[in-house]
Chains A and B, each alone.
Chain A
Amino acid sequence: MASTTFEQAHESGLDASAESFHPVHDTNTGISNTKLAMWLFLGSECLLFGGLITTFLLYKHPLPGQGPGPKEIFDIPFTSVSSFVLLMSSLTMVLAVSAIERGDHHRTRAWLVATALLGSTFIAGQVYEFTSFYREGLGYTTSRFSSAFYTLTGFHGVHVTVGIIMLLSLFLLSVKGNLPEHKAETVEVVGLYWHFVDVVWIVIFALVYLIP
């Protein structure tokens, strides 16, 4: 039994003060129900974004006379910087998880705020991008391309926004002292969501923006 192993090891003083851990839980899978639920949710999210990306690929080219297409409107240097910002937020997120597993609450809070700020920068960039596209004549119903593009990237933006709210909630919990080391898995689960948002953007950036 996993729990016996844990208790035996603990009582015999085999404490490793590990910098990171994935303790065995007393469940059929040995994984906590929360983490398992998050992974199942992320698996289903793959289908959601798979569908949206497929739709975009089919409708990538607007019909003649239906407003600007991807080539005319995308600002690759700007989006590249946004992508880099989101990519780096994954680093700060994983460092936050690492910090709380070590019991370093000061650094945990710092990395959580850094992640939220980087996510907010990404969202600000997306708002700027959407606004400039709209000014150039690309509304949501302008063409099948615009509808597919705004739906896909908008859904992703909403996911990032939800992630930022979760990060700030964790920060507040930590400030109030309600996020001790043994609740490190809460940060890890939010981190899983955040990294997923990042990997989805990796795919969107390549398929939507870079591949002609």
Chain B
Amino acid sequence: MAATHEHHPQAKVPTEVLDGAVKEYSRDRLYVIVAVVLTAITAVEVSTYYLTDIFKDRFLVATLLILAAVKFFLVAYVFMHLRFDKKVLTTIFYAGIALALALYLCVLTVFRYWTPDFSAIKDQMGL
């Protein structure tokens, strides 16, 4: 079906039909703030590579996973406009992520990634 606004190519969009898109703040300022936050998080991520005394083993893995998740959702929420757009789009995207995570967990489980056997195999291989 044709998009409504295509019938009014010169029309500017009224506030009432923006599905909550217009806020008091400047969007561009928000984008720059988010970019600064993303840069700071990336700096922390990279620092874990050097600060090996502080970030060890499971703490390192947990830290990096949390930081990556924060960056991921910041980009999706603000830059990809999930914050401002229809909720159904959020559902579609997160459904894809949930399926991907399910796939990820299933395959790793099938390959006995979580069981002691996997460690034993790694030890035998000298890994």
A interface residue numbers (CB < 8 A to B): 2-3, 5-6, 9-10, 14-27, 29-33, 35-36, 39-40, 42-47, 49-51, 53-55, 57-58, 61, 63-64, 76-77, 80, 83-84, 87-88, 90-91, 93-95, 98, 180, 182, 185, 188, 191-192, 195-196, 198-199, 202-203, 205-207, 210-212
In the complex, chain B residues 72-111 whose Cβ is within 8 Å of any chain A Cβ? 72, 75-76, 78-81, 84-86, 88-89, 92-93, 95-97, 99-101, 103-104, 107-108, 111
Which of chain A's residues have a CB closer than 8 A to the CB of B127? 61, 64
- Please tell me the size bucket of the interface on B: 35 or more
| Secondary structure class of chain A's binding surface, majority of residues | helix
**Complex-state Cα separation, A87 to B97, whole angstroms:** 20
Instruction: Give the contacting residue for B4; candidates A6, A42, A94; CB below 8 A.
Output: A6
Interface pair A205/B45, CB less than 8 Å apart: yes
Report the separation of the CA atoms of residues A182 and B31 in the bound assembly, to the nearest whole angstrom.
Answer: 22
In the complex where A29-B88, A210-B64 touch, is A98 in contact with B17 (Cβ < 8 A)?
no
CA distance A5 to B116 in the complex (A): 62
A-B contact pairs, 25 of them (CB 8 A): A6-B5, A9-B16, A16-B15, A23-B4, A23-B18, A27-B3, A31-B86, A40-B92, A46-B100, A51-B103, A58-B107, A61-B127, A77-B46, A90-B75, A91-B34, A94-B78, A191-B80, A195-B79, A199-B71, A199-B76, A202-B68, A203-B68, A206-B68, A210-B49, A211-B65
Q: Point out the residues of chain B lying under 8 angstroms from A18, CB to CB.
A: 12-13, 15, 18, 21-22
List the A side residues contacting B34 at CB < 8 Å.
Answer: 91
Q: Report whether A39 and B92 are in contact in the complex, using a CB–CB cutoff of 8 Å.
A: yes
